[in-house]
Amino acid sequence: MLKVNDNYLKLKAGYLFPEIARRVNTFCSEHPDVDLIRLGIGDVTEPLPSACRDAMKAAIDEMGTHAGFHGYGPEQGYPWLREAIAKFDYHLRGCDISAEEIFVSDGSKCDSSNILDILGPKNRIAVTDPVYPVYVDSNVMAGRTGEVEDSGCYEGLSYIAINEANNFEAQIPKESLDLIYLCFPNNPTGAVATKSKLAAWVDYALKNDALILFDAAYEAFIQDNDIPHSIFEIEGSRQCAIEFRSFSKNAGFTGTRCAFTVIPKTLKGRTQDGKSIDLWSLWNRRQSTKFNGVSYIVQRGAEAVYSNEGQSQVKSLVNFYMENANLIRTELIKAGLTSYGGENAPYVWIKTPDGLDSWSFFDLLLDKANIVGTPGSGFGVAGEGYFRLSAFNSRKNVEKAMKRIANL
């Protein structure tokens, strides 16, 4: 008899966003005329930059000729895109990252789960709480945790609380851990990590022979000049960090799909018998076997992000969403809601009023204001009593949503 992967049965519930979609679909089928405003999943709403569209159109035309046709590309991404990323995202920020250390992919969500393929089963793993649920669920699926405990936490995972008491800063653990997931600017709280905080994490990782998986998918939204955009701005990080980056949120590629993962060639792990081995080679081997690369057309679109035109269009998009974030934050505060984030990230993290739990506040906003947000408890136990609103929507909808909340 065929056996299934029992680890899937340990998962607490459906993945957060499909679960929200299910509840919203039920609500909409019961209230078909409702004017719903979606500030839940962080999915962009503004059109793709014309620089990217033009580059993709030109690439399609090229593909229609014998001379310009492209079949399988390099699994790691085309050199011209990897070189543009290395120059604009790293060299111009003073980071020592080469084009060869950049692996182009179809998403940070996939990469941040697939990376477990090259990591051993016995690592002591830490996530922040609240956290982007993909890090936790992919570890559960891969059998890297025990069962879920009564508290709602998984046995075998370490949780690092980020909350009001510690100003949403992940505190350096006292115990020795092997693998730490960090996401800054943070999803879901919108908090950022200062240079000295990241330096403390790098120091911890170097002392403990640990690996930091650094998710910087929201770096483009940083407004404050002193906040690092990459873990590789920190000295020593080439020996202890992998970074995930994406074109989804800055350039509107959530549907187009393009991202990249940076693995320095100087990054080492150990085999079961204690030998040192570089992670770059393992990931290169994994990608060459299991991945056939991102389409030529999409990579040409991503390359155009780095043209003069692309850079200014992406900047306008980011500014647009950050104006939304600012509007959300200030209007919520005016409405008397304690709110965090939204200053260097497209997410505003709200303390639910009157001691409501996160899902009750979700239902209240859905029923009474016809607004969809994300319940904080969906991001972990410490997210209970919080709620996330995303800045990804039109100005008109954001203004309308804030009026509805003010009138609640």
Which residues here bind ligand MLT, judged by CB under 6 A?
A: 41-43, 109, 187
Please state the closest distance from residue 42 (CB atom) to ligand MLT, in A: 3
Nearer Cβ to ligand MLT (78/361): 361
Please state the closest distance from residue 204 (CB atom) to ligand MLT, in A: 26
Please state the closest distance from residue 249 (CB atom) to ligand MLT, in A: 7
Please state the closest distance from residue 121 (CB atom) to ligand MLT, in A: 25
Nearer Cβ to ligand MLT (42/293): 42
Give the residues across from 268 on adjacent strands.
278
Asked if 212 and 231 touch (Cβ cutoff 8 Å), the reply is yes
Nearer Cβ to ligand MLT (41/148): 41
Q: Which of 89, 168, 183, 95 is nearest to 132 (CA)?
A: 183
Nearer Cβ to ligand MLT (82/109): 109
Q: H or E segment at 21?
A: helix 16-30
Name the token pair of 325. 């974030």
Nearer Cβ to ligand MLT (41/161): 41
Nearer Cβ to ligand MLT (21/41): 41
How many whole angstroms separate alpha carbon 30 and alpha carbon 387? 24
The beta-strand segments (E) located in 179-275 are 179-183, 211-215, 241-246, 259-262, 268-270
Q: Which of 291, 314, 310 is nearest to 300 (CA)?
A: 310
Please state the closest distance from residue 188 (CB atom) to ligand MLT, in A: 6
Asked if 75 and 106 touch (Cβ cutoff 8 Å), the reply is no
How many whole angstroms separate alpha carbon 227 and alpha carbon 139? 29
How many whole angstroms separate alpha carbon 302 and alpha carbon 83? 12
Please give, one letter per residue, the 3-state secondary structure of 282-341.
Answer: HHHHHHHHHCCCCCHHHHHHHHHHHCHHHHHHHHHHHHHHHHHHHHHHHHHHHCCCCEEE
Instruction: Determine how many CB atoms are found less than 10 A away from the CB of residue 408.
Output: 12
How many whole angstroms separate alpha carbon 397 and alpha carbon 371? 10
Nearer Cβ to ligand MLT (135/306): 135
Please state the closest distance from residue 187 (CB atom) to ligand MLT, in A: 5
Nearer Cβ to ligand MLT (228/373): 373
Please state the closest distance from residue 119 (CB atom) to ligand MLT, in A: 21
Q: Which of 200, 254, 243, 303 is nearest to 93 (CA)?
A: 243
Nearest to ligand MLT by Cβ — which residue?
42
3-state secondary structure of 331: helix
3-state secondary structure of 391: coil
Please state the closest distance from residue 43 (CB atom) to ligand MLT, in A: 6
Please state the closest distance from residue 379 (CB atom) to ligand MLT, in A: 8
Q: H or E segment at 398?
A: helix 395-407
Please state the closest distance from residue 41 (CB atom) to ligand MLT, in A: 4
Please state the closest distance from residue 3 (CB atom) to ligand MLT, in A: 30
How many whole angstroms separate alpha carbon 245 and alpha carbon 214? 9
Q: Which residues of 66-97 are buried (b: 16+ CB within 10 A; e: fewer)?
A: eeeeeeebbbbbbeebbbbbbeebbeeeebeb
The beta-strand segments (E) located in 47-110 are 102-105
Nearer Cβ to ligand MLT (40/264): 40
Nearer Cβ to ligand MLT (19/149): 19
Give the residues across from 183 on adjacent strands.
215
Nearer Cβ to ligand MLT (78/135): 135
